[in-house]
Amino acid sequence: MFGLGFPEIVLILVILVVLFGASRIPELGRGLGEGIRNFKKGIKSGTDDDGKKS
């Protein structure tokens, strides 16, 4: 996974908890998941800005 080992992933998680706080981590994850879902839906629909199929 991108050449990251267990120690690097743990360090990233610790930094996230310090920056955002433990209570905001699930909220950030939900927002990220929703953004990815919307992106995939937009790619799958294949429409451009004026709603016409490309």
Q: Structural domain boundaries of the chain?
A: 16-41
pLDDT in tens, 9-46: 899 989 988 988 888 888 988 999 999 999 999 998 87
pTM here? 0.54
Which of 3, 2, 28 is closest to 15 using CA atoms?
28
Q: How far apart are the first and last CA of the chain?
A: 34
Residue 18 CA to residue 14 CA, distance in Å, equals 6
- pLDDT level of residue 49 (50, 70, 90 thresholds): low
